[in-house]
Amino acid sequence: MLKITLEVIETVDTIARTGSFAGASERLHKVPSTISYAVSKLEDQLGIALFTRNGPRVTLTPAGQEMLKEGRWLLASAQQLESRMRQIATGFESELRLVHDSLIPTSAFNPDICAFEDLNCGTRLRIGSEALTGTWEALRDGRADIVIAAGEGPTGGGYKSVAVGSVNFAFCVTATHPLARLKRPLERSDLLEHTAVVVGDGARTLTDRTVGLLAGQRRITVPNFPAKIAAQAAGLGHGFLPRDCVQAELSRGILIELEVQEPRPDETFWLAWRPEHMGEALKWWRQRLDRPLLPGILAH
């Protein structure tokens, strides 16, 4: 049987904080003799002194300090476990997994995360990001409870979804790119002569999306939109970029927008979730995020 229990750690911690057995007995609502007996018994069992006694005042010995260094962490973990158990009993999940499209920075959700943490509901929050179809796949495969995904989801997914906004795209290159010298709307054949920068689809089993990419197109594939913006700003290729994400680059002339004969249509974004296991945390996030998110959230 373990000699150091959570109850005795709490007792030692309270004595250390109050500086006396009497103070601890008042704080813990126990008689002083019970406090003194518990500590003396533990010291005898361990064969070490936890406190240096100086009349009614006591201080921790080095061994006592070491015990509380780990003991306080155990107390905090036990309290968190109790909290999660109580809240799970009332309908809150032990963990909520939110996955968003990589176009959206995770920091854009900081106000929502703060509001959720203020609930103190005991649900652990796990946030991830995927590119394009990979976000839908995370929901389909059970790796996400709720997603913010681009484009239409796969058929027969057993999920529910609501539109939360759309993103407008601009065809961008650097001012020194050969396409910038044509001074006319760009045709398909113009684009085929030059390298495109594309975001790699994160899907593992679903069919990849190749938005805005022509058959036989030379390409550089990058993992997300920030990398795509950086690559095009460096002159490595051309492609469509979310207009709200490149306002600074356009205003400073790092990138310029060109007219194309076949513009990319606006992309609708969806809030989607699986309704069969609708816990309280999922309900909260579903209601919280059911608002116009894009393009405004990209300003973060």
Q: Residue 7 is encoded by which pair of tokens?
A: 């109850």
Other CB atoms closer than 10 Å to residue 177's CB: what's the count? 19
Answer for the pair 62, 52: CB distance below 8 angstroms, yes or no: no
Backbone angles phi, psi at 251, to 5 degrees: -70, -30
What is the set of domains in the chain, with CATH numbers?
A: 6-89 (1.10.10.10), 95-166+268-299 (3.40.190.10), 169-265 (3.40.190.290)
Residue 193's pLDDT is: 92
User: Do 285 and 162 form a contact (C-beta atoms < 8 A)?
Assistant: no
CA distance 271 to 145: 11
Which segments of the chain are extended strands (E)?
Answer: 51-54, 57-60, 95-101, 124-130, 146-150, 160-167, 169-173, 196-199, 219-222, 239-242, 256-257, 267-273
State the residue for tokens 């609502």: 29
List the beta bridge partners of residue 238. 196
Distance, CA of 94 to CA of 199 (rounded, Å): 34
What is the CA angle 67-37-61, rounded to 5?
30
What's the rounded Cα separation, in Å, for the pair 244 and 299? 7
d(CA 106, CA 264): 25
The 10 Å Cβ neighbour count of residue 252 is 9
For residue 141, what pLDDT is reported? 84
| pLDDT beneath 70: ranges in the chain | 1, 83, 86-87, 156, 202-216, 299-300
DSSP code, position 165: E
pLDDT for 94 equals: 84
Q: How many CB atoms lie within 10 A of CB 282?
A: 21
Residue 289 has what pLDDT?
Answer: 97
pTM: 0.71
- 154 to 88, 101, 103, 239, 266: CA distances (angstroms): 32, 15, 19, 25, 19
Please give the Cα distance from 238 to 241 (Å, whole number): 9
Q: Which of 109, 94, 96, 250 is nearest to 172 (CA)?
A: 250
Place of tokens 């490595």: 236
Write down the pLDDT at residue 163.
Answer: 96
